[in-house]
């Protein structure tokens, strides 16, 4: 006979045991405790430290290797030091920083658990000052690092998005697990909509085009002074289930824009100032040097180019 099936009658403090042949017996006393098998996800969470370098070194070389603060020369990443390596939190509680303007004091709350949370920020691009064009946008922002976009619709709605990677205009679709969209409600509270479905295609950084979060999460036409939003595929839907950032607007329907600014950091974090890349990472200036030769047909790009250098003519 196979193993018995156990059920627990919590109210009566008895345990009923049903054998495979269908017969039942009941015993009094302590409740039976049945331990459900752990899921694969649960087992993975138990064994994961939350840092890839720590987990990799521990599995390959054992726990003793973890006593080294930089095992094999690879630096660990903690949420405190490198917050953008983790999914965006939906909390909006970051405190204002000295120098914040009226808009930024409200929007700053969304920057909880980001690299910009405690840094002084300034306006790198203002559409009403620098021009409503993709060219002006990239001229002002390319290479400026992480930024937070804040826009206002013709109806007075304030919304925007956080780009932890920044813009370069290289035509790349950037992975960014910490990217998010946001809306500022009439009472001044913020609603954050994090990336869903993993980190892929979080930011679309196309030269000659305006800012874009995901293929359809938020797409802004600067020349057209308009924005469209389709939520749910790449970014979370609104708390009420709405699939658009904008009130009383069907997803994908364009809204008119009145203003648009992008804030970037005016300073670096201490860890960023002192950071030295790992052996497997691009050293300072290497990637920029390689991209400078993109139009050279004899140049070898990417990882192999880093190791072997460019092709010879």
Q: What is the pLDDT of residues 63-110, one digit of tens each?
A: 655 555 555 555 666 777 778 888 999 999 999 999 999 999 999 999
Same domain, 68 and 91: no
Pair 69, 117 in one domain = no
* Residue 276 within any structural domain of the chain: no
- Contact 140/133 with Cβ under 8 angstroms? no
Plot region of 275 (φ>0 → left; ψ -120 to 50 → alpha; else → beta): beta
- 290, part of any domain: no
Answer whether 120's CB lies under 8 Å from 108's CB. no
pTM of the model: 0.67
Whether the pLDDT of residue 14 is over 60: the answer is no
Nearest to 299 by CA among 281, 313, 279, 282: 313
User: Which of the pair, 102 or 18, is modelled with greater confidence?
Assistant: 102
Residue, of 108 and 59, whose pLDDT is higher? 108
Domain count, the chain: 3
181: domain range?
86-265
Domain boundary among 244, 265, 286: 265
- Nearest alpha carbon to residue 298 among 309, 311, 307: 311
DSSP string, 122-160: EEEEEHHHH-SSHHHHHHHHTTS-SEEEEEEETT--EEE
Q: Is residue 273 part of a domain?
A: no
With bands split at pLDDT 50, 70 and 90, how would you rate the model's confidence at 268? confident
Residue 290, pLDDT > 70, answer: no
SS3 content of the chain, % helix, strand, coil (to 5): 20, 25, 55
Cα maximum dimension of the chain: 87
Residue 62 CB coordination number (10 Å) = 9
User: Do 217 and 127 share a structural domain?
Assistant: yes
Q: Are both 27 and 93 inside the same structural domain? A: no
**Same-domain status, 117 and 228:** yes
236 vs 287, higher pLDDT: 236
311 assigned to some structural domain: no
> Residue 165: what pLDDT?
95
More confident: 205 or 300? 205
Residue 194: predicted pLDDT: 98
Residue 280 has pLDDT above 70, yes or no: no
pLDDT at 23: 43
Asked whether residue 96 falls in the same domain as residue 65, the answer is no
Place of tokens 């983790």: 86
The answer on 169 and 21 residing in a single domain is: no
Answer whether 175's CB lies under 8 Å from 199's CB.
yes
Do 62 and 172 fall within a single domain? no
In this structure, the answer to whether residues 12 and 123 fall within a common structural domain is no
Question: Is residue 108 domain-resident?
Answer: yes
Q: Is residue 81 part of a domain?
A: no
Q: What phi, psi does 174 have (nearest 5°)? A: -90, 140
Both tokens of 63, joined, read: 């726990």
Tell me if 147 is assigned to some domain.
yes
Domain annotation covers residue 232: yes
The answer to whether residues 171 and 69 belong to one domain is no
């Amino acid at each position: 006979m196979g193993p018995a099936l156990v059920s627990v009658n919590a109210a009566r403090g008895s345990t009923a045991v049903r054998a495979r042949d269908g017969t039942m017996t009941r015993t009094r006393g302590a409740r039976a405790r049945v331990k459900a098998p752990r899921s694969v996800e649960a087992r993975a969470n138990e064994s994961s430290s939350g840092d890839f370098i720590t987990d990799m070194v521990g599995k390959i070389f054992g726990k003793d290797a973890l006593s080294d603060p930089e095992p094999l020369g690879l630096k660990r990443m903690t949420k405190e030091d490198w917050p953008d390596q983790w999914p965006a939190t939906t909390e909006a509680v970051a405190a204002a920083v000295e120098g914040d303007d009226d808009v930024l004091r409200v929007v700053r709350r969304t920057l909880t658990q980001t690299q910009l949370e405690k840094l002084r920020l300034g306006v790198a691009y203002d559409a009403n000052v620098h021009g409503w064009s993709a060219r002006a946008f990239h001229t002002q922002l390319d290479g400026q690092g992480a930024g937070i976009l804040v826009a206002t619709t013709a109806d007075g709605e304030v919304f925007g998005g956080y780009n932890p990677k920044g813009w370069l205009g290289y035509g790349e679709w950037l992975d960014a697990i910490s990217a998010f969209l946001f809306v500022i409600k009439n009472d001044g509270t913020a609603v954050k909509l994090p990336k869903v479905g993993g980190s892929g295609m979080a930011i679309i950084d196309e030269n000659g085009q305006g800012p874009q979060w995901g293929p359809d999460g938020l797409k802004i036409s600067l020349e057209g002074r308009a924005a469209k939003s389709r939520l749910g595929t790449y970014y979370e839907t609104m708390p009420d289930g709405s699939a658009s950032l904008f009130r009383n607007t069907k997803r994908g329907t364009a809204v008119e824009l009145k203003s648009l600014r992008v804030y970037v950091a005016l300073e670096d974090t201490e860890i960023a100032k002192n950071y030295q890349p790992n052996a497997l990472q691009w050293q300072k200036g290497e990637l920029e040097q390689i991209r400078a030769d993109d139009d050279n047909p004899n140049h070898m790009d990417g990882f192999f180019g880093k190791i072997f250098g460019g092709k010879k003519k």
